[in-house]
Structure 1
Amino acid sequence: MTQRTWPCRSDGLRYTALPFLTKDTGRAAPPSENHALSRPPNPRFHRARFAPGSPPLASDRRDFSNLPNDVLAKIAASFALPNLQAASLVCRAWRDALRPLREGMLFLRWGKRFKHGRGGVRPNLNKALDSFLKGAARGSTLAMVDAGLVYWEMGKKEEGVALYRRAAELGDPAGQCNLGISYLQAEPPNLKEAVKWLYQASDAGYVRAQYQLALCLHQGRGVDRNLPEAARWYLRAAEGGYVRAMYNTSLCYSVGEGLIRSHRQARKWMKRAADRGHSKAQFEHGLGLFSVGEMMKAVIYLELATRAGESAAAHVKNVILQQLSASSRDRAMLLADNWRALPSSR
């Protein structure tokens, strides 16, 4: 099977984000024939920035094509394939420097195929690990995290944590999150290190880390207990699609813990969690619907919660079913059978 590591040949700059400057004069070099896209200088831009006769700012004399390969590789280590391909199109120097990472993306893709049995291959955890490690050796933090996950599943936690740490130190939010959780689960746990890495991943917008950080703040693990701060991170993770955070956000609004008490917001987030398959949210949302007389909807959510293992939901559901006609009961069960959870981050 032929796999291309480069989308097209390029002998020069594909585009320029900043004008490249000559070394002897400090002035913008004229567009070369190799430029696929070039723009004339904008006189309004230059007049706004520089007084007549003043030299260009030092930051405008930087030629980003001259970044050392190891620096560029570290910058791009956590790039997903589309961003990596875009960066590789900047110039020949970047294309060459990022070639190992593009190769790492191919090994990452094959590793996922072997792990999950996709693309016409049978699941094989050993082959998946081998592919992930080859991608990691080429500098891909995405491959490091997946290799760490496989090691963790195999019970080789030290090897997994070492790969998480490599990815985390290169700025990968998933690696930072997994490293933080590993410290939480260690015997004995290293709570200070856990919170440090969870904060970094949370600031980068990684919703699982935001939820885990909120739990630490809520419980006072590795950090002083801070309910308003915990609720803020629950809410950010919920807004990012993390279903467990939706449920906890609903509870915070319901009792006024860390957030201003609001039954409307509590119901909104409980329903969102229920619609994404959170069994406890389905149970509690079903109870809420029952309390306001929406029997059919209540039965559906309580049936879903029952199927997910919430045994207490079955008793309430049976009480409601006795109040419904046979056709309404059948209709409710049919809707439950055809229900599909909305997509979410678990």
Structure 2
Amino acid sequence: MTVDEAAKQHKLRDGNRESAYKCFEAYADLGDVKAKYFKAYYIQQKLVRLDIDQTDKNKLVAKLYKEASDSGDEFPEAQLRYGDCLFKGVGVQRDLKESALYFTKAAENGKAVGMFNAATLYLSDKAGIKEEALGEKYMRLAAYKQHKQAIDYCKKNGLPL
């Protein structure tokens, strides 16, 4: 099975996820970026059972999402998920500044949640990088994509839409 065929199995309601995961695992070990993303996703979402402790699972998931994120802009979902790992300190040391960068990458690749998360960090200065204009830009963009929390933020804070 190819990685694309495994991805199709993943999307099917009654797809063979066990076979799909085995495929993702094998191709990830060969360096395939898409397979790395799906392997991390399966582990994180507990779609597969691994006999390692949760700390090691979290580290593996973060590592795989980072590799997929850093390979280019093909997997904005990986950028978003790695940003979340950094934001929460799951599998990696918590780093809000780095988290903002990955959320920004996801935002630039069209992910509304990335837009909202980046905006929140830029507007709050929690990451040590307060940039109101950039924060407002991403907040508005998230609102334009119908992100409810972004819409609520814009209304509450008088940001024109």
* Contact map agreement 2:86 2:94 (CA 8 A) in 1: yes
Q: Which runs of 5+ in 1 are unaligned?
A: 1-135, 298-346
Match of 2:130 in 1: 261
* Residue 285 (structure 1) aligned with residue 154 (structure 2): yes
Q: Which runs of 5+ in 2 are unaligned?
A: none
Match of 1:224 among 84, 89, 93: 93
Question: How many pairs are equivalent?
Answer: 152
Post-superposition offset of 1:154: 3.1
Match of 1:210 in 2: 79
Post-superposition offset of 1:168: 2.6
* Residue 147 (structure 1) aligned with residue 9 (structure 2): yes
TM-score by length of 2: 0.81
Post-superposition offset of 1:170: 4.3
Equivalent residue runs for 1:188-203 within 5 Å: 189=54, 190-203=57-70
TM-score by length of 1: 0.40
Counterpart residue identity of residue 204, structure 1: S
Tell me which structure has the larger Cα radius of gyration. Answer: 1
Comparing both structures, which one devotes a greater share of its residues to helix? 2
Q: Distance in 1 between matches of 2:33 and 2:95?
A: 23
Post-superposition offset of 1:259: 4.8
Q: Distance in 1 between matches of 2:126 and 2:18?
A: 38
Q: Greater relative contact order: 1 or 2 (C-alpha under 8 angstroms, separation 6 or more)?
A: 2
* Residue 174 (structure 1) aligned with residue 34 (structure 2): yes
Match of 1:276 in 2: 145
Counterpart residue identity of residue 245, structure 1: G
> Over aligned residues, Cα RMSD in angstroms?
2.2
Counterpart residue identity of residue 67, structure 2: Q
Post-superposition offset of 1:283: 1.5
Post-superposition offset of 1:157: 4.1
Q: Distance in 2 between matches of 1:282 and 1:226?
A: 27
Question: What is the percent sequence identity of the aligned residues?
Answer: 25
Match of 1:248 in 2: 117
